[in-house]
């Protein structure tokens, strides 16, 4: 797959995730501190 097509798919995925976060924020019932820790843990795993 050419790098431009791959970049285009990545941008589309980012836009989809960015738009979906508002829906998820409405549905998540965790307290703020727990939510921050979960997000930080997921990002840490993603960066490893």
Per-residue model confidence as pLDDT tens digits over 1-48: 788 999 999 999 999 888 888 888 888 888 989 989 998 999 999 888
pLDDT at 19: 87
CA distance linking residue 19 with residue 1, whole number of Å: 26
pLDDT at 45: 93
Give the single-character DSSP code of 27.
Answer: H
CA distance linking residue 48 with residue 30, whole number of Å: 25
Give the single-character DSSP code of 1.
Answer: -
Give the single-character DSSP code of 44.
Answer: H
Which residue range(s) make up the domain with 40?
3-47
**16 touches 8 (CB < 8 A):** no
Structural domain count of the chain: 1
What global pTM score does this model have? 0.49
């Amino acid at each position: 797959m050419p790098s431009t097509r791959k970049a285009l798919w990545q941008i589309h995925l980012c836009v989809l995730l960015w738009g979906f976060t508002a829906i998820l924020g409405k549905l998540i019932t965790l307290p703020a501190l727990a939510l921050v820790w979960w997000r930080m843990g997921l990002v840490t795993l993603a960066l490893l």
